[in-house]
Amino acid sequence: MVDVPNSAARLPVTVDIVALTVHRDQLMALLATRLLPPYQGCHCLPGGFVLAGEGLEQAALRELAEETGLDAAGHLEQLRTYGPLGRDPRGPVVTVAYLALSVFSDPPQAGGDAAAAQWVAVDDVDQLAFDHAAILADGVERARAKLEYSGLATAFCPPQFTIAELRGVYEAVWGVRLDPRNFNRKVTSTSGFIEPIARRQGVTGRPAVVYQMASGRDPASTILNPPVMRP
């Protein structure tokens, strides 16, 4: 039997969720407003304490649902671990952060320990409680990097999308403008990334080709070769 030091029982564990989406050509982060001290009334990432008998991902999904009314319907992955010292005025706390990428959804509905919840443009995020600004920055950079070499850009898209809509995801996440022809050539020539399925009707001019993620491929595990590199 392994001896557990007494200090282990006094080290709380929390989860925090960096939930990102793209809306109106902007990268958005899901923020809650704290209902209780510390940092009462301040913006923060959704999250909270892991309950007894609860797994980390289970806790992250529960806190996301309780505080925002949303679920991680797109992509969810563990980001990294932070702490335990200097991040919470109540004492040492370890937090395990998760990154969630999804299509823009209905406005969040606050609950639990959140007084409010809302999507906020990443560029407009000011001060956040605890060390959540650093966690958010890490999550945004992880998302930006993953778009280069994986199929995760499609996690921000509906099941069917145009090349222009996919390019808009890359531009919003990276914060740059991309040459449309060059982008089109790159993404359509990358094996196993996207595939055409139809043309979108009901628009003026030539109908746009509609694409989807390549059949049978998982966006998270699809490695783009060649990668779509940031300018």
* Residue 228 domain-assigned (yes or no): no
Q: What is the CATH number of the domain that holds 112?
A: 3.90.79.10
Q: How many domains does the chain have?
A: 2
* Residue 131 domain-assigned (yes or no): yes
Q: Looking at the structure, tell me whether residues 36 and 127 fall in a common domain.
A: yes
Structure tokens at 189: 């020539």
The whole-angstrom separation of Cα 168 and Cα 180 is 10
* Residue 1 domain-assigned (yes or no): no
* Residue 160 domain-assigned (yes or no): yes
Res 229: pLDDT: 92
Q: Looking at the structure, tell me whether residues 105 and 202 fall in a common domain.
A: no
Q: Looking at the structure, tell me whether residues 51 and 163 fall in a common domain.
A: no
The whole-angstrom separation of Cα 126 and Cα 167 is 27
Structural domain for 202, as ranges: 150-213
Q: Looking at the structure, tell me whether residues 137 and 170 fall in a common domain.
A: no
Q: Looking at the structure, tell me whether residues 140 and 193 fall in a common domain.
A: no
Please report which helix (H) or strand (E) contains residue 196, including its range: strand 194-199
Q: Looking at the structure, tell me whether residues 43 and 113 fall in a common domain.
A: yes
Q: Looking at the structure, tell me whether residues 96 and 203 fall in a common domain.
A: no
The whole-angstrom separation of Cα 132 and Cα 61 is 18
Q: What is the CATH number of the domain that holds 159?
A: 1.10.10.10
pLDDT in tens, the chain (231 residues): 556 566 656 789 999 999 999 999 999 999 999 999 999 999 999 999 999 999 999 999 999 999 999 988 889 999 999 999 999 999 999 999 999 999 998 789 999 999 999 999 999 999 999 999 999 999 999 999 999 999 999 999 999 999 999 999 999 999 999 999 999 999 999 989 999 997 766 556 667 899 999 999 999 999 999 899 998
